[in-house]
A and B are shown apart, each in its own frame.
Chain A
Amino acid sequence: MMIYLRLFYEFFKAGLFAIGGGMATVPFLQDISQNTGWYTSGELADMIAISQSTPGPMGVNMATYVGYTVGHKYFGQLGGVLGAFVSTFALILPSVIIIMIVAKMLEKFRDNKYVNAALYGLRPASVAMITSAGIVIILFSFFQINNVYEFGKAVVDYRSFILAAVVLVCSRFIPFTKKLHPILFIIASGIVGIIFHMSVV
């Protein structure tokens, strides 16, 4: 039982203090591993890799995974499921509470001059952040590098450019395929990736 209380506490803490997305929870997970010895850093690396390669928000995936691993270690399969539930719930609880409050205030002051002024600045920031996240993914998936400074080490795989061009044309210019749901492009790209062994450059 103590294990679950501790899981709840640790993930509540991560949910409360990790600001800025999934990767921000990683330091908290490292902290948990050092303080409790529930899993090794090697196991953590595996859990991060799997959380990145399965659908869903990364932070949630990691919480579920860690919760399952810990519960499973002490109480078997069912214990793992309970652990996954506890840690996932604990991770999202603080942000749900905070957002309820923020959203209420936002609604109340929607027509306020200052709120609008702040949003005027927030919107370009929002688009800029998406752009830079896109650039990071582009660097990694088209050039196999982690940041702009590694540009000298870039490895170019022409197949990825062909795939990108095809997806772009289909999702933007061809009237019939334009209306298709993005998930279809994602699935098709995954299949193309498997057929052409795209992880091997």
Chain B
Amino acid sequence: MIDIKEEMKKKTPIKPTIWNIYKTFFRVGAMTFGGGYAMLPIIEREVVDRAGWVSQEEIMDYFALGQCTPGVIAVNTATFTGRKIRGKLGAIAGTVGVVTPSFFIILIVAALVRNFAHIQAVQDALAGIRICVCVLIFEAVTKMWKSAIVDKITLAMYILIVLVSVFFDASPVIMVVLAAIAGLIIKGRKSLGGEGTK
């Protein structure tokens, strides 16, 4: 009996239930402070490291696509990931999961707490949390680095996009679209040139 249970436990990451997906994204939603970008380290931890449902590359793809599809990035990434794990129902479970904490927290704050954002303790806590989020984002970047920056071209693209977005506040949509086109041109040309590398 114990053996079977152990086996089942091992197999859960392979076929997670809808409830598992919902719970995981519920946690992601509840822990996200400061927008979709801050969510990335959490989602990575929950879905890639802990559950092993999708790979690092896939998460990056979903994140990039989540930027250029309409809507909230965090929700888009959740929909993508949920769908990958368990089809349409998984997508819905992930989406509803990531939204649920927001929904109830906002209802409570809106109904009960006046001037929530102006409370001294809230501002102090957020000042501390923001510092932590910076570190977490830094860690997410170093983790993703290996699978995204694979050669000199991708390194150049990375530096260029960082500079442009920091100094010129350019729209992320345009940059994502341009990056995809650049990828198509560079890689397409390579295969035409007979190098044929993947």
- Asked whether B117 is an interface residue with its Cβ less than 8 Å from the other chain, the reply is yes
A98/B37 in contact, CB under 8 A: no
The residue in chain A whose Cβ has the minimal distance to the Cβ of B92 is: A96
A163 / chain B contacts, CB cutoff of 8 Å:
128, 131-132
Other A-B pairs beyond A124-B149, A193-B125, 6, CB < 8 Å: A60-B102, A61-B106, A96-B79, A102-B69, A125-B176, A141-B127
- Asked whether A44 is an interface residue with its Cβ less than 8 Å from the other chain, the reply is no
Q: Mark B108-130, 1 if CB is under 8 A from A, else 0.
A: 01110001111011111111111
CB-contacts of A9-58 with B (<8 A): 15-23, 25, 46, 49-58
B84/A103 in contact, CB under 8 A: yes
- Asked whether B42 is an interface residue with its Cβ less than 8 Å from the other chain, the reply is yes
CB-contacts of A100-123 with B (<8 A): 100, 102-103, 106, 113-114, 116-123
| B side interface size, CB within 8 A | 112
B40 / chain A contacts, CB cutoff of 8 Å:
130
A interface, CB within 8 angstroms of B: 15-23, 25, 46, 49-61, 64-65, 68-69, 72, 77, 80-81, 84-85, 88, 91-92, 94-96, 98-100, 102-103, 106, 113-114, 116-138, 140-142, 147-148, 160, 163-164, 167-168, 171-172, 181-183, 185-186, 188-194, 196-200
A53–B157 Cα distance when bound, in Å, is 33
B33/A186 in contact, CB under 8 A: yes
A125 / chain B contacts, CB cutoff of 8 Å:
64, 157-158, 161, 175-176, 179-180
B154 / chain A contacts, CB cutoff of 8 Å:
120-121, 123-124
Shortest C-beta distance, A89 to chain B (Å), equals: 9
Shortest C-beta distance, B150 to chain A (Å), equals: 8
A167–B120 Cα distance when bound, in Å, is 23
B123 / chain A contacts, CB cutoff of 8 Å:
53, 199
Question: In the complex, which of the residues A60, A91, A120, A189 contacts B132, with contact meaning CB atoms closer than 8 Å?
Answer: A189
A103–B69 Cα distance when bound, in Å, is 11
A20/B126 in contact, CB under 8 A: no
Question: In the complex, which of the residues B129, B134, B139, B191 contacts A190, with contact meaning CB atoms closer than 8 Å?
Answer: B129
Shortest C-beta distance, A93 to chain B (Å), equals: 9
Shortest C-beta distance, B191 to chain A (Å), equals: 6
Given contacts A61-B102, A117-B187, A134-B141, contact A198 B128 (CB under 8 A): yes
Question: In the complex, which of the residues B33, B175, B184 contacts A129, with contact meaning CB atoms closer than 8 Å?
Answer: B175
